[in-house]
Amino acid sequence: MEIEINVLSDLGGMNKKTIKLSINSIVLKLSNYLDLTTLESITIPSEFGADIINFQREHGLLEGYTKHDSGYVGGKTLSYMINGNFKQTVFLNQKVFEDHAVRFCIVNHELCHVHDDYMQFKMGVKPKLEKNSQQEGVLKEAFLSLAGSVWAEYIATRLSAKQAAIEDGDNSLYNSEFIAGDLQLFSEFLVTTEKEISSQTNVSRTSGDWSKLFDVARGSVNQLVGAAGKVYGNIHAIEEFNSEGGKQLRENIYEMCIKQSSFKNIWPELEPALQTLYDNYPNWNGSEELSELAEIVQITWNTLGVYTNELESGRIWVGPLRP
């Protein structure tokens, strides 16, 4: 595994040599729990977002990464094929090196993505949609791919939270700013997703071009459901150590964030779907294992006013009314 640091100044008071030693130490420690054999490199870019997009373009991957108003994105894991071999690169935002606890938790979370992406590859789960493929192929496969992204956020959060507690010696990290950050992100997406869908629907209604609505829904709705998956990942990790604490957190989240939202009917359906996947993990029989979760993602689209249908040509129809 190669560690590439493309910044000129020290980070968090550490020079490049110290940073590499720190990252190597975390990777070595977590390799006791995770399969990291496909990890090709860890990169700290000078321009986090731009460098990710450039890498995705070079490898023919779907372009983009999660963005939100409440803070910075700590990391991004990308999986790709090179000469028939499955490989992965982790991008780390240089801001995570300002605090030791943040550094460990972000790297921990991204390495859980490395592990899960490889597990999904070995189980025969089809890869996430490639560049410009959203209007081609089978609608079912599109939603299975989106469901895979939701699962990835859930499992990475559940595994990383559990491992953080093991390394920390107790469950104190469960009460840290990271859970609060996940909750804040979820609350933010509950509001912004509806606005983004409504705005694009109005634009498409005026222009008569509905193709852009698919792109917006794919990005914003999956961010919302993925954020909900992260919240459940935290809850389920807590319950492994403190069942009453997990129960209380679940109840508080429902009352504070969900009860009055359009997500209130989706929230209770999401938990058993994720738990069933976890119970069978990593012994799935391919992408079909994600079918229930894919249905929940599609229902979320419908709840927010986005409907889809597969045409005879194989292309995807999208609009604000049920076809």
pLDDT tens for 50-75 read 999 999 999 999 887 776 655 678 89
128-143, pLDDT tens digit by residue? 544 444 444 478 888 9
Report the pLDDT value the prediction gives residue 176, as an integer from 0 to 100. Answer: 61
The pair of three-digit structure tokens given for residue 300, joined into one six-digit string: 């979320």
Q: What angle do CA 317, 318, 323 make, to 5 degrees?
A: 75
Query: Three-state secondary structure along 18-83?
Result: HHHHHHHHHHHHHCCCCCCCCEEEEEECCCHHHHHHHHHHHCCECCCCCCCCCCCCCEEEEEEEEC
pLDDT at 96 over 60: yes
Cβ–Cβ under 8 Å, residues 96 and 103: yes
Cβ–Cβ under 8 Å, residues 260 and 184: no
**Distance (Å, whole) CA 110 – CA 118:** 13
- Where are any strands of DSSP class E within the chain? 2-5, 39-44, 75-82, 85-92, 307-310, 316-319
Bond preceding residue 127 cis, omega within 30 of 0: no
What band does 18 get if pLDDT is binned at 50, 70 and 90?
very high
Cβ–Cβ under 8 Å, residues 132 and 286: no
Distances from the Cα of 74 to the Cαs of 16, 30, 246, in angstroms? Answer: 18, 18, 25
Count other Cβ atoms within 10 Å, centred on residue 264: 13
Residue whose structure tokens are 């929940």? 296
Half-sphere exposure of 166 (CA within 13 A, CB side): 13
